[in-house]
């Protein structure tokens, strides 16, 4: 068969800690040699300066992405430590090389030539030149050294923050009585310690406790424990905020946010704050109505169980009563629904959706041919379905279950960006989904709650973006788009998880595989889509406005006070007298989303516009899928995002569908 022997071998994962260090050092050495050659170039051109650096960054970036990935997934602490150290060394190296005046002079010489090149190459030249300017090449030598020292400090803080989060092993001990209401298949996965049950802060442990534990005190302890799980990180974020302001001020920006946003679709902090505050104003009234209803439900529930009345609705009550409301008024029983979404068959069917929409084939690699970093992983060779001659697309990995030392959320990692090499040959992408869904037990397979189905489909969307993108340069591959657009393609795909036909297709009862989810249950799920949507989005606004408050400040902000005050004011939910430190595990702010969390809401505007204009009439239309793939996904970041949207939509994007979806307008 055409797809039996991919033209590019899968990565090898059999590395020792020493090999990780050696590989990283070899990559940095090769990059430095290229930069030295560029700096020494006496007749600089686009090809021997800009393209040369871009190609070498593509070659070495694929290697460094792999060696720095081990810190997120390896069960071997020595490997994780070596990987984390490699990441820190690489970032320090990148700071050094990005501030080399000799390299900048040759880049500037090419920029002044204004060479006649294609659109993607022109964008590469512009970004390369601006990256040097934004790294201080317009400053004096003394100021550059000062800026470099600050950037290295920030980098070190970010690496340590991430490492602390990855190594987190906190827990809370509960008696079985304290866990009353929590499903038995959750409790049976808790280890026993001194006669009590150990709830870790991994998602499959803490979320069910917050959703099902009848005791408010149990929920409070679970919530506060989870919020305060990596306290060493508090000081690291606080210091990073201060240093980021210093760096921005050196470069003559009003704030760190304005420095960051210059390269985003939003362009400046004023635009972001206007967007967020307008959305907050539109949603607060809706949130208050939802909160009043939840408070009524809490009062009735406590009375029915003979518990003392409480006059406050606390933040740790939210997941419990949100779930109870869905069950009582919308017949949405998350446990019952999960029975129809066993992970294996659901994921297989998700892949089938992409096979139809984007004309792809996913061929799982098994047996001795498999090349993975852990036995839990799945590996796929992905092909473009071309009649008679399938074309290889790239490698896809799934790592689905929690384990000690593993990255604790759900994310897509671009391990190897695609690009065209120096010989004009295609280098194919490698991408991985790292998730934390519950493990199968002796009695049941891993069953996905509906929100987990949505989460996986979202992350798979990022993976597909990586796979189907085709760019000349690694810098623009796949999800390397403007950060405030990167979520839009995945958010758009979430709509499939609320469409009756697609839900029916994705479902299969774990005890009766031929039995799909029934229509009444589907109606319940669809009706529940925006239940408490005001409160949900106000929570997102808290994160986004907190991020902006930190990064529009002069760095001397009381981070703990801002976190707690803003949460109560914006989310409308009381923390009682608890002071929490949830920013200590708010990894986005130390992982590339600083001044960028607003992007989750900003990009929803585009996601809604794309879905309703392109797919709503027929979500499985391959023609629409092909247009979307070629116009939005294929160019990656090589073209302007607004231009791509206008080409797909046939008009400028607008927020009409977004506001209608949120229920805050009748437009």
* Angle CA 122–422–425, to nearest 5: 105
41: DSSP letter: -
- DSSP sequence for 92-116: HHHHHHTT-HHHHHHHHHHHHH---
Question: Residue 598: helix, strand or coil by DSSP?
Answer: coil
d(CA 142, CA 173) in angstroms, rounded, equals 54
Burial bucket for residue 293 (CB in 10 Å: 0-12, 13-18, 19+): middle
Cβ atoms 416, 479 nearer than 8 A: no
What are the beta bridge partners of residue 381?
A: 363, 395
Rounded Cα distance between 342 and 443, Å, is 13
Q: Exposed e or buried b for every residue in 584-602, given b needs 16+ CB within 10 A?
A: bbbbbbbeebbbbbbbbbb
Are the beta carbons of 183 and 212 closer than 8 angstroms? Answer: yes
Measured CA to CA in angstroms, residue 590 lies from 31, 159, 314, 319, 557 at distances of 26, 8, 28, 26, 17
Alpha-carbon distances, residue 448 vs 191, 240, 337, 534 (angstroms): 22, 37, 8, 25
CB 132 within 8 A of CB 195: no
Question: What does the buried/exposed string (b/e) look like for 298-322 if buried means 16 or more CB atoms within 10 Å of the residue's CB?
Answer: beebeeeeeeeeeeebbbbbbbbbb
Name the token pair of 455. 């989460």
Q: Two tokens at 131?
A: 């990256």
30: Cβ contacts below 8 Å, ≥ 6 apart:
56, 59, 60
At residue 315, the 3 state secondary structure works out as helix
- What H or E segment, with its residue span, contains residue 192? strand 191-193
Catalytic residue list: 459
- At a CB cut-off of 8 Å and minimum separation 6, what does 413 contact? 65, 69, 72, 431, 432, 433, 434
- The DSSP letter of residue 514 is T
In Å, what is the CA distance from 373 to each residue of 154, 426, 602?
30, 25, 35
Other residues' Cβ atoms within 10 Å of the Cβ of residue 441: 12
Using CA atoms, how far residue 361 sits from 67, 380, 381, in Å, is: 28, 9, 8
Closest C-alpha to 550, from 265, 242, 335: 242
């Amino acid at each position: 068969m055409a797809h039996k022997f991919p033209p590019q071998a899968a990565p090898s994962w059999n590395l020792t800690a020493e090999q990780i260090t050696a590989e990283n050092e070899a990559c940095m050495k090769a990059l430095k040699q290229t930069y030295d050659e560029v700096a020494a170039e006496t007749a600089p051109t686009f090809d021997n300066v800009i393209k040369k650096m871009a190609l070498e960054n593509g070659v070495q970036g694929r290697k460094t992405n792999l060696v720095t990935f081990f810190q997120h997934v390896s069960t071997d602490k020595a490997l994780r430590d070596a990987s984390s150290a490699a990441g820190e060394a690489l970032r320090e190296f990148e700071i050094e090389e990005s501030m080399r005046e000799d390299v900048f002079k040759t880049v500037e010489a090419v920029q002044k030539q204004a060479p006649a090149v294609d659109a993607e190459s022109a964008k590469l030249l512009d970004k390369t030149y601006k990256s040097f300017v934004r790294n201080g090449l317009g400053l004096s030598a003394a100021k550059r050294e000062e800026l470099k020292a600050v950037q290295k400090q920030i980098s070190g803080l970010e690496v340590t923050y991430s490492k602390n989060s990855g190594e987190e092993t906190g827990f809370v001990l509960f008696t079985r009585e304290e866990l009353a209401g929590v499903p038995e298949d959750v409790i049976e996965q808790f280890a026993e310690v001194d006669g009590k049950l150990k709830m870790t802060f991994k998602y499959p442990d803490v979320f069910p406790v917050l959703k099902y534990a009848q005791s408010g005190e149990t929920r409070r302890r679970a919530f506060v424990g989870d919020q305060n799980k990596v306290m060493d990180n508090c000081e690291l974020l606080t210091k990073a905020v201060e240093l980021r302001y210093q760096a921005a001020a050196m470069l003559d920006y009003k704030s760190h946010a304005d420095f960051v946003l210059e390269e985003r679709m939003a362009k400046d902090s004023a635009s972001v704050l206007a967007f967020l505050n307008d959305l907050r104003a539109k949603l607060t009234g809706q949130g208050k109505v939802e909160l009043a209803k939840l408070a009524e439900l809490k009062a009735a529930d406590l009375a029915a169980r003979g518990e003392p009345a409480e006059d406050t609705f606390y933040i740790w009550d939210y997941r419990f009563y949100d779930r109870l409301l869905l069950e009582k008024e919308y017949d949405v029983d998350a446990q019952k629904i999960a029975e129809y979404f066993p992970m294996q068959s659901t994921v297989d069917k998700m892949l089938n959706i992409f096979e139809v929409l984007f004309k792809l084939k996913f061929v799982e690699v098994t047996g001795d041919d498999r090349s993975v970093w852990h036995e839990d992983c799945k590996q796929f060779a992905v092909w473009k379905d071309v009649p008679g001659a399938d074309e290889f697309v790239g490698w896809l990995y799934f790592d689905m279950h929690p384990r000690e030392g593993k990255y604790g959320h759900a994310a897509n990692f671009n391990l190897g960006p695609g690009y065209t090499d120096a010989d004009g040959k295609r280098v194919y992408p490698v991408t991985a989904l790292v998730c934390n869904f519950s493990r199968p037990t002796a009695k049941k397979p891993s069953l996905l709650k509906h929100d987990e189905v949505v989460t996986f489909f979202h992350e798979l969307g990022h993976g597909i973006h990586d796979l189907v993108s085709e760019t000349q340069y690694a810098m623009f591959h796949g999800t390397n788009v403007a950060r405030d657009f990167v979520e839009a393609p995945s958010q758009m795909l979430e709509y499939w998880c609320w469409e009756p036909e697609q839900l029916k297709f994705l479902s299969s009862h774990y005890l009766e595989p031929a039995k799909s989810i029934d229509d009444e249950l589907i109606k319940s799920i669809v009706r529940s889509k925006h239940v408490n949507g005001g409160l949900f989005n106000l929570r997102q606004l808290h994160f986004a406005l907190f991020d902006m408050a930190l990064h529009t400040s002069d760095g001397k902000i009381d981070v703990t006070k801002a976190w707690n005050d803003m949460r109560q004011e914006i989310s409308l939910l009381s923390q009682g007298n608890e002071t929490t430190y949830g920013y200590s595990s708010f990894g986005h702010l130390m992982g590339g989303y600083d001044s960028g969390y607003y992007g989750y809401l900003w990009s929803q505007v585009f996601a809604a516009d794309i879905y309703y204009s392109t797919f709503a009439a027929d979500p499985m239309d391959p023609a629409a899928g092909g247009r979307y793939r070629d116009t939005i996904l294929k160019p990656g970041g090589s073209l302007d995002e607004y231009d791509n949207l206008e080409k797909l939509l046939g008009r400028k994007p607008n927020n009409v569908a977004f506001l209608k979806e949120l229920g805050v307008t009748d437009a």
